[in-house]
């Protein structure tokens, strides 16, 4: 097992390196001259040239890439020209908020989506099933940011229950978490339902029934653990969606997290920030996926056996 | 009587495509969704004929007008008829959705086939590349690429389709591998079928249905992503009436003039819902396993 | 309540499935009986409704799509079809157990094989966890698997070993009736014999009655006391092993034996039964076998065919048998 963990950690290092190179290369080709941006279009060409040299962007691509990677290693993400502060300081302050938001989205959508999916599958064909199918279909179709805006209208403006922006109290988090979880929640419901329906039809479930196991235990002791195996991967994978949701939610609800930092930077062409934020979020995402894989390997004896060398 | 008894045996050999269409036709929900879906595309094509007003016509007196008989969806902050703008905007939204999915699938099928067909090395390269790309959460990847490429219709289509490549490639590769290792392909090659024939006769028909389902499913999601890009300041920007841009345009007036946001959002929801229902119906109709 | 009375009796059982809006008639008026300690072979082609009969006895048919339309199943003077589910739970796995066709999929992949056996013991024998485990280990060893493998998962076993586990599970509570649904079909020929022998041994030890579902006449000859031939959801001929093997009467039964190679014979070709089983959504009127029957007459194509008693206990559902039956 430990060998597997080490192997996966090693692979992750390469993936993260790949992401850093990819993101750097993408941003390298961004049209426009960062030095010109900082100084304004009417700047003296000599000043621009001096700033370019100072920023190191007059060097060849490979040298710049090397510098970028080396800096990353030392957690030096450069300076935001917009705020004129080191990116790392803003990240330190903002990352926990974004992670909190996305983790809460995951928890919310998992805790509600999976039971809904089970309920639907267990009552296949009955009204509970129809209800879950319709609601999850609609939840999947509605864009999250639109739902966020509508929730502001209803719950902030009209009812005054929750604030429409900022991060003053726990109340500030309710609308972003709920509205951004709807999509993932619907996805969880649909996939859990599908997984359960497939497992319920499996032969070993019939075997369990034939043993005299009660209907309740057949579902929760025999079918569910098998259905949850694919669902675990799904939860890990939905972290990507939740991070994306958090980014958008921060923009809608004006919450000072990494997402708002990023969207502002995109609009202000503050590429040092864009680059760093993308790499940092990718590292977090990779770590979550790694944990998911490990959990997955742990719960499925068939996969576990592959890695323990039995 | 005697002839009647023989009928069932021959009936088994019905044309498969016909069978799928028949099964789809029996699914009323999917059919309704399909019809709405097609009508929306017809609306996009004939947008200029269907718009009740010029979608750029400003009228100061009508600024923020609430929905009325003359302006069913109301007017925006510059007094432009929102319904006309939404109809015109369908060209952007539906176009980006459709093109984005098609381009993504085209690129993914090249990558997926390379990975699935040409042995270990190619497969490894493609898959490791995908590992790297997929380490960036989907929306973030699309946003990053969109930032690099800049705004505008075709740049956004490109960003959307690149964003969809990793997922689609994985799906196609898994499918090609499954089909390639299946016994019927082994059987075909054992009777000396040429590679081209195997691909054309055995692999493509079996891969077509899931790809179609994936495409139908993807359109809704892609339109949603496109509108989100516009919303965060990428993608299509006002004054172009892409649905996300309309929402973005109206977001500051949500407290007082919610109609500016309600209608474009509902349109996105309706398109996605139809795409979803249609995809579900297609999947049920094409998956022989579910017949039992 | 005499000992001789049939302890399992099925009367006029009809089961339908709904598939794609069409009704599939899986079982059409099956009547059967089984004496204590005896083995009944249910023989027939794939899709003839054999498994459905077994699952109906256990009441584990998925409903819907399946539906028991009419009939009666009496087991030890209890009407199984009208028994409350709660009482059925005490019968399943305890008094009636089932061995499934495919051992590869019949075991839960995320539970150890031992715990799967222990589960049934805990349920019915009301033993504590430790005792149930001890008994499960005993059962494993009885089917020839070292008890040390209690904590292994199904994927660590071969097909034959898995089937042994399934058998251990079915016999763990010493059921009075064992339903074995093609217990050897998915196994290698060499292992088939071992498994059959083991089932026969264990059956003797526990004095278990058995319904053996198979399409392998060789297996039937070796293990069964009585035989019922199933065709398109009907029992078209049933009787003792000798009745069926020495005096097959129904054209289909005769056809089945014609399709078997004989070691003693010197025939050049096997004679298969011509044609295919009927589409279960559109069964032919009259005798279900009439479209394939070499001796078909007009009378066969309409109306129900009654069962004729050839010799005591040997029933045949064929008009052709009527004359012979009268002669007896």
Q: Tell me the average pLDDT of chain B.
A: 83
Q: How confident is the model at residue A296 (pLDDT cuts 50, 70, 90)?
A: confident
- Chain C residues within 8 A of A206 when measuring between CB atoms: 55, 60, 100, 106
Q: Chain B within 8 Å of C22 (Cβ-Cβ)?
A: no
Q: Chain B within 8 Å of C21 (Cβ-Cβ)?
A: yes
Nearest-angstrom CA–CA distance, C161 and C153: 12
Give the pLDDT mean for B32-39.
Answer: 92
Tokens (6 digits) for A267: 């609009």
Q: Residue A246's Cα: distance from chain center in Å? A: 8
Q: Do B147 and A22 touch (CB under 8 A)?
A: no
Please give the DSSP secondary-structure letter assigned to residue C302: S
How much is the CA Rg of chain A, to the nearest whole Å?
24
Q: Tell me the average pLDDT of chain A.
A: 87
The answer, yes or no, to whether residue A255 has pLDDT greater than 70, is yes
Q: Chain B within 8 Å of C284 (Cβ-Cβ)?
A: yes
User: Which residue's structure tokens are 């009482």?
Assistant: C87
Q: Which stretches in chain C have pLDDT values below 70?
A: 1-5, 20, 259-272, 323-328
Distance from CA of B6 to the nearest CA of C (A): 8
Half-sphere exposure of C145 (CA within 13 A, CB side): 30
User: What is the set of domains in chain C, with CATH numbers?
Assistant: 6-95+175-327 (3.40.50.300)
Give the pLDDT mean for B107-121.
Answer: 82
Distance from CA of B255 to the nearest CA of A (A): 6
Please give the DSSP secondary-structure letter assigned to residue B75: B
Provide the ipTM. Answer: 0.86
Contacts 24+ apart (CB under 8 A), A284-287: A284/A99, A284/A243, A285/A239, A285/A240, A285/A243, A285/B135, A285/B136, A285/B137, A286/A12, A286/A15, A286/A16, A286/A19, A286/B135, A287/A12
Contact B188, B202 (CB under 8 A): yes
Phi, psi of A161 (to 5 degrees): -80, -40
Those residues whose C-beta lies under 8 Å from the C-beta of residue A71, and which sit 6 or more positions away, are A77, A78
The answer, yes or no, to whether residue B2 has pLDDT greater than 50, is no
Nearest-angstrom CA–CA distance, C126 and A296: 34
Give the pLDDT mean for A117-131.
Answer: 90
Nearest-angstrom CA–CA distance, C244 and C22: 35
| Chain A (180-209) residues lying within 8 Å, Cβ to Cβ, of chain C | 201-204, 206-209
Class of residue A29 by CB neighbours under 10 A (exposed 0-12, middle 13-18, buried 19+): exposed
The answer, yes or no, to whether residue B96 has pLDDT greater than 90, is yes
pLDDT digits (tens, 9 = 90+) for C156-209: 888 888 888 888 888 888 888 888 888 877 777 777 777 788 788 878 887 888
SS3 state of residue B81: strand
Nearest-angstrom CA–CA distance, B47 and B86: 9
Lowest mean pLDDT among A63-72, A230-239, A278-287: A230-239
Q: Do B291 and C281 touch (CB under 8 A)?
A: no
Q: Hey, how many other C-beta atoms are within 10 angstroms of the C-beta on A103?
A: 16
Distance from CA of A210 to the nearest CA of C (A): 6
Q: Tell me the average pLDDT of chain C.
A: 81
Of A217, A211, A202, nearest to C170 by C-alpha is A211
Bridge partners (DSSP) listed for residue C22: C19
Q: Can you list the alpha helix ranges (DSSP code H) found in chain B? A: 2-11, 16-26, 28-45, 47-50, 82-117, 119-134, 138-149, 153-180, 183-190, 195-197, 204-231, 243-250, 259-286
Q: Do C120 and A211 touch (CB under 8 A)?
A: yes
SS3 state of residue A269: coil
Contact A291, C137 (CB under 8 A): no
Q: Sign (positive/negative) of CA torsion A231, A233, A239, A240?
A: negative
pLDDT digits (tens, 9 = 90+) for A153-193: 899 888 989 888 888 888 889 999 999 999 999 999 999 99
Class of residue C104 by CB neighbours under 10 A (exposed 0-12, middle 13-18, buried 19+): middle
Class of residue C69 by CB neighbours under 10 A (exposed 0-12, middle 13-18, buried 19+): middle
Nearest-angstrom CA–CA distance, B291 and C27: 20
Q: Between vectors from CA C227 to CA C224 and to CA C232, what angle results, nearest 5°?
A: 135
Contact C115, C197 (CB under 8 A): no
Of C15, C22, C55, C26, nearest to C211 by C-alpha is C55
User: Which residue's structure tokens are 């090397």?
Assistant: A66
The answer, yes or no, to whether residue A104 has pLDDT greater than 90, is yes
pTM (2 d.p.): 0.82
Q: Can you list the alpha helix ranges (DSSP code H) found in C9-112? A: 50-58, 85-91, 103-106
Please give the DSSP secondary-structure letter assigned to residue C157: S
For A259, nearest residue in chain B (alpha carbons): B140
Assess whether the previous peptide bond of B160 is cis (omega < 30° from 0).
no
Nearest-angstrom CA–CA distance, A122 and A196: 8
Bridge partners (DSSP) listed for residue A80: A85
Q: How confident is the model at residue B289 (pLDDT cuts 50, 70, 90)?
A: low
| Chain C (37-66) residues lying within 8 Å, Cβ to Cβ, of chain B | none
Q: Do C19 and B292 touch (CB under 8 A)?
A: yes
Bridge partners (DSSP) listed for residue C75: C8, C78
Q: Chains meeting A at 3+ CB pairs closer than 8 A?
A: B, C
Q: Hey, how many other C-beta atoms are within 10 angstroms of the C-beta on B24?
A: 17
Q: Chain B within 8 Å of A23 (Cβ-Cβ)?
A: yes
pLDDT digits (tens, 9 = 90+) for B254-283: 888 899 899 999 999 999 999 989 988 888
C207 to A153, B273, C39, C179, C213: CA distances (angstroms) = 75, 61, 11, 14, 19
SS3 state of residue C234: strand
Contact B234, B151 (CB under 8 A): yes
Q: Which of 1.10.230.10, 3.90.420.10, 1.10.3720.10, 3.20.20.70 would CATH assign to domain B22-54+67-290?
A: 1.10.3720.10
Nearest-angstrom CA–CA distance, B52 and B84: 6
- Chain C residues within 8 A of A210 when measuring between CB atoms: 58, 60, 92-93, 97-98, 100
What is chain A's percent helix, strand, coil content, to nearest 5?
A: 80, 0, 20
Q: Between vectors from CA C320 to CA C319 and to CA C325, what angle results, nearest 5°?
A: 90
- Chain C residues within 8 A of A302 when measuring between CB atoms: 109, 153, 155
The answer, yes or no, to whether residue A310 has pLDDT greater than 60, is no
User: What is the set of domains in chain A, with CATH numbers?
Assistant: 92-308 (1.10.3720.10)
């Amino acid at each position: 097992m430990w060998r597997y963990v080490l192997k996966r950690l090693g692979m992750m290092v390469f993936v993260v390196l790949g992401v850093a190179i990819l993101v750097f290369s993408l941003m390298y080709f961004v049209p426009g001259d960062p030095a010109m941006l900082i100084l304004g279009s009417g700047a003296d060409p000599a000043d621009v040239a001096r700033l370019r040299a100072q920023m190191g962007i007059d060097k060849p691509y490979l040298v710049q890439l090397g510098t970028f990677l080396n800096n990353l290693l030392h957690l030096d993400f450069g300076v935001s020209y917009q705020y004129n502060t080191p990116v790392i300081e803003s990240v330190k302050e903002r990352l926990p908020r974004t992670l909190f938001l996305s983790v809460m989205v995951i928890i919310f959508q998992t805790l509600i989506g999976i039971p809904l999916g089970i309920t639907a599958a267990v009552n296949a064909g009955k009204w509970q099933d129809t209800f879950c199918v319709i609601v999850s279909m609609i939840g999947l179709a509605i864009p999250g940011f639109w739902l966020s805006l509508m929730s502001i209208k209803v719950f902030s403006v009209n009812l005054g229950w929750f604030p429409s922006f900022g991060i003053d109290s726990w109340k500030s988090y309710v609308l972003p978490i709920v509205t951004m979880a709807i999509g993932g929640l619907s996805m969880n419901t649909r996939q859990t339902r599908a997984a359960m329906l497939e497992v319920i039809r499996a032969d070993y479930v019939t075997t369990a029934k034939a043993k005299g196991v009660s209907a309740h235990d057949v579902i929760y002791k025999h079918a569910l653990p098998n259905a949850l195996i694919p669902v675990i991967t799904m939860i890990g994978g939905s972290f990507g969606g939740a991070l994306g949701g958090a980014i958008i939610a921060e923009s809608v609800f004006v919450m000072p997290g990494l997402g708002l930092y990023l969207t502002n930077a995109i609009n202000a062409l503050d590429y040092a920030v864009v680059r760093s934020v993308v790499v940092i979020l990718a590292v977090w995402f990779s770590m979550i996926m790694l944990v998911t894989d490990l959990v997955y390997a742990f719960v499925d004896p068939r996969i576990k056996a592959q890695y323990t060398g039995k | 009587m005697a002839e009647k008894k023989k009928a069932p045996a021959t009936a088994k050999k019905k044309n498969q495509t016909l069978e799928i269409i028949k099964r789809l036709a029996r699914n009323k929900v999917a059919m309704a969704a399909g019809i709405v879906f097609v009508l929306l595309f017809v609306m996009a094509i004939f947008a200029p004929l269907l718009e009740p007003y010029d979608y750029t016509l400003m009228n100061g007196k009508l600024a923020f007008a609430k929905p009325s008989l003359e302006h069913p969806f109301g007017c925006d902050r510059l007094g432009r008829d929102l319904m006309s703008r939404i109809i015109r905007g369908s060209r952007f939204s539906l176009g980006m959705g459709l093109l984005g999915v098609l381009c993504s699938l085209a690129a993914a099928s090249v990558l997926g086939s390379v990975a699935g067909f040409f042995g270990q090395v190619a497969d490894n390269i493609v898959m490791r590349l995908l590992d790297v790309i997929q380490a960036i959460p989907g929306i973030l990847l699309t946003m990053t690429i969109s930032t690099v490429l800049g705004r505008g219709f075709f740049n956004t289509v490109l960003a959307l389709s690149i964003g969809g490549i990793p997922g689609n490639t994985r799906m196609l590769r898994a499918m090609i591998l499954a089909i390639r290792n299946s016994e019927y392909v082994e059987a075909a090659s054992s009777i000396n079928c040429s590679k081209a024939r195997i691909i054309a006769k055995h692999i493509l028909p079996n891969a077509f249905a899931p790809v179609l389902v994936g495409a139908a499913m993807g359109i809704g999601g892609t339109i949603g992503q496109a509108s989100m890009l516009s919303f965060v300041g990428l993608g299509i920007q006002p004054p172009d009436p892409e649905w996300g841009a309309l929402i973005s345009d109206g977001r500051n007036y949500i407290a007082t003039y919610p109609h500016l946001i309600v209608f474009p959002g509902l349109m996105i929801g309706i398109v996605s819902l139809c795409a979803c229902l249609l995809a579900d119906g297609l999947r049920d109709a094409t998956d022989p396993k579910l017949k039992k | 309540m005499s000992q001789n009375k049939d302890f399992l009796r099925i009367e006029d059982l009809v089961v339908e499935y709904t598939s794609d809006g069409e009704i599939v008639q899986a079982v059409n008026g099956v009547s059967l009986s089984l004496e204590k300690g005896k083995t009944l072979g249910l023989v027939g082609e794939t899709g003839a409704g054999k498994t459905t009969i077994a699952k109906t006895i256990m009441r584990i048919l998925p409903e819907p799509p399946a539906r028991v339309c009419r009939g009666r199943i009496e087991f030890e003077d209890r009407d199984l079809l009208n028994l409350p589910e709660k009482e059925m739970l005490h019968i399943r796995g305890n008094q009636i157990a089932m061995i499934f066709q495919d051992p590869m999929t019949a075991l839960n992949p995320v539970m150890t094989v031992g715990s799967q056996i222990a589960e049934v013991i805990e349920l019915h024998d009301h033993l504590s966890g430790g005792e149930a485990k001890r008994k499960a280990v005993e059962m494993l060893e009885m089917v020839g698997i070292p008890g040390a493998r209690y904590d292994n998962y199904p994927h660590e076993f071969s097909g034959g070993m898995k089937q042994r586990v399934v058998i251990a599970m079915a016999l763990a509570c010493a059921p009075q009736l064992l339903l074995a649904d093609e217990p050897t079909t998915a196994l290698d020929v060499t292992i088939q014999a071992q498994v059959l022998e083991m089932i026969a041994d264990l059956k003797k030890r526990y004095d278990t009655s058995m319904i053996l579902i198979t399409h392998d006449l060789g297996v039937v000859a070796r293990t069964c006391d009585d035989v019922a031939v199933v065709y398109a959801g009907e029992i078209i001929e049933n009787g003792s092993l000798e009745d069926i093997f020495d005096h097959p009467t129904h054209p289909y039964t005769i056809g089945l034996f014609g399709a078997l190679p004989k070691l003693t014979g010197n025939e050049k070709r096997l004679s298969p039964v011509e044609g295919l089983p009927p589409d279960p959504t559109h069964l032919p009127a009259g005798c279900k076998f009439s479209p394939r029957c070499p001796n078909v007459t007009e009378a066969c194509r309409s109306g129900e065919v009654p069962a004729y008693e050839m010799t005591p206990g040997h029933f045949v559902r064929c008009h052709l048998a009527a004359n012979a039956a009268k002669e007896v």
